[in-house]
Structure 1
Amino acid sequence: MPPPAPPPEKSESEQTLDHIAKFVKLMPTLFEGGPDPLVVDSFMDRVKKHLNAMNLALDRLKIILVTYNFTGDAEIWWTTMSHTHNVDTITYDAFKKLFYEKYFLVPKKRKLKKEFDGLKQGNMTVTEYENKFTFLLRFMPEIAKNEEGKTEKFIEGLDFSIRPIVTVAKLIEYAKAMRKALVVEAKSKDRKAIKESYKHSRSMGAI
């Protein structure tokens, strides 16, 4: 018997529907719009994760999938954009630029930039400081892309008990500066623990 004929190749629209079904299954969350940068950034972070998992190459398909999850104000906005922009040829980077211009409002950007500019370690551990630094850095792409500038800013905000030692190391790579700060912090804690232990043993001996 002759081998069974291969199934007919799906049309472009059928393939698109398959991708939409897969994307919605991976990411059921809808985006309604609104000025909260945390909601906007969280939505786009999840979008990036799932688009990468699907390994899509076509910008047009990526845009179709993302905007399929728009509802409310976001859906109305994108409908308006489709009348003023050629959405069939727009790149995904250009789409993201339009998206962030709409939903990542200037006053929110200024507030986050001010918080980032004034960020200091203070009473935080190095890990806690680094977590907050990384979070705010997501909203500062011009700094995030500059490895040396990012590292300098991170070191600048470290506690004075740590900063001079890290500064002397003259590190320009962010990961190395962070590891150095963690090492300095750990050694400082060890010294404090030894000192406290010594004080305790002397006080016990004096009894």
Structure 2
Amino acid sequence: MEDFMRHKPAKFTCKATPDEADAWLCECEKIFGVIECSEAQKLTFATFLLVTEAEYWWMGMWQQMQTREEEVNWVNFRKKFVEKYFPDIAKHEREAKFLTLQQGSMLVQAYVEKFEYLARFYSQTVTKEWCCRKFEGGLKHELRHFIAKSVEQLEIGHSKVSRSQKTSAEDRQQKKPYSRPPSSSQKLWCYNCGGEHLRRDCTQSAGSGGNSASTRASHSFISHDCVKNLGLSTRDLGCELIVSTLASGQGSTISACVGCSMEVKGRRFKANLICLPLEGLDVILGMNWLSSNHIAIDYGRHRVVFPESKGFELISTHKALKEIEEGTT
């Protein structure tokens, strides 16, 4: 405990904002990494810093976990703490702020710090190139223009150097253009019945009303027609997003509906939907929506399965097989 307190960790009260709760948790974990403490010590040190109503909350939560025969350890404490003081709605709000972040009146350094902080809460896996385009798209117009001119000058200079170093044989060689894989290699899939055709050509009655939940889509989308018909407000993404779907092919978009309310099977949700010119579909709910709400897809019955209790957990196939081998039923 002395080694831990030597780093002067902050006490935590229930009056902390979600950002302050996140910062406090990050500070504790940073100290844990420095002093190399055990999992049991992490729990002891963190709970020692809880004061007033936060301490009362943990005392009540500890009793509940004992009653439910849940293991009281650092991993479960961290999970309960985040659920209490940094709930999903706070994560969604910061994800929405990241998607619409603009430099505005901020200095470049302040914009960089804000971008890096909010990027932690973006639920999708993105490439470094996408992050660079997103960052550049949020800069002031004059800065974007300056960057574009600088890149152009660098490319011209590099091109001149390369041409001077080429031999006559290399000059005759041309790079082969990128060939997009033939569309026939991609199998069509109906979001209504699962057949090998587009949903608009499906002869079976649609039970989802033009909506689809799909593990093949990483993001969640909404059609431009649906946005127009419902009169939804949109926000600028700050960059152009290129998306490819089986139903509509490849398309681009620069807008999204942030915090869009929806109802699925009598349950209400909020989601960030990227606007896209979809054909035959109104909404596609992707893996980000499925995973954040712990929802599974029953392919045999063509339906989504909602968790019946808070203890419901989705696990990977690899983990399931491992637990079966260990005797889990």
Tell me the TM-score range normalised by the shorter chain. 0.5 to 0.7
RMSD over aligned Cα atoms: 3.2
Pick the aligned partner of 1:101 from 54, 74, 83. 83
Summarize the Cα distance change of 1:117–1:165 in structure 2 as closer, same or farther, 3 Å threshold: farther
**Alignment map for 1:42-121 (pairs within 5 Å):** 42-56=23-37, 58-85=38-65, 89-90=71-72, 92-121=74-103
Q: Is the 8 A contact 1:35 1:105 kept in 2?
A: no
TM score, norm. by length of structure 2: 0.38
Summarize the Cα distance change of 1:131–1:162 in structure 2 as closer, same or farther, 3 Å threshold: farther
1:49-68 CA-partner distances (Å, limit 9, x unpaired): 21111112x22221111111
* Identity between Structure 1 and Structure 2 (%): 24
Q: Identify the structure with the greater strand proportion.
A: 2
Task: Find the aligned partners of 1:34 and 1:94 in 2 and give their Cα distance.
Answer: 22
Task: Find the aligned partners of 1:132 and 1:164 in 2 and give their Cα distance.
Answer: 23
TM score, norm. by length of structure 1: 0.57
What count of residue pairs does the alignment treat as equivalent?
147
Summarize the Cα distance change of 1:48–1:28 in structure 2 as closer, same or farther, 3 Å threshold: closer
**Alignment map for 1:164-203 (pairs within 5 Å):** 164=148
Q: Which runs of 5+ in 1 are unaligned?
A: 1-19, 170-207
Task: Find the aligned partners of 1:166 and 1:85 in 2 and give their Cα distance.
Answer: 59
Pick the aligned partner of 2:110 from 122, 125, 128. 128
Displacement, 1:132?
1.5
Question: Taking CA–CA contacts closer than 8 Å with sequence separation of 6 or more, which of the two structures ends up with the larger relative contact order?
Answer: 1
Give SS of 2:117's match. helix
1:22 aligns with 2:6: no
Q: Is the 8 A contact 1:155 1:166 kept in 2?
A: no
Task: Find the aligned partners of 2:150 and 2:70 in 1 and give their Cα distance.
Answer: 50
Displacement, 1:36?
0.6
Displacement, 1:147?
4.5
Give SS of 2:145's match. coil
In the other structure, the counterpart of 1:15 is none
Task: Find the aligned partners of 1:92 and 1:162 in 2 and give their Cα distance.
Answer: 49
Q: Is the 8 A contact 2:9 2:27 kept in 1?
A: no
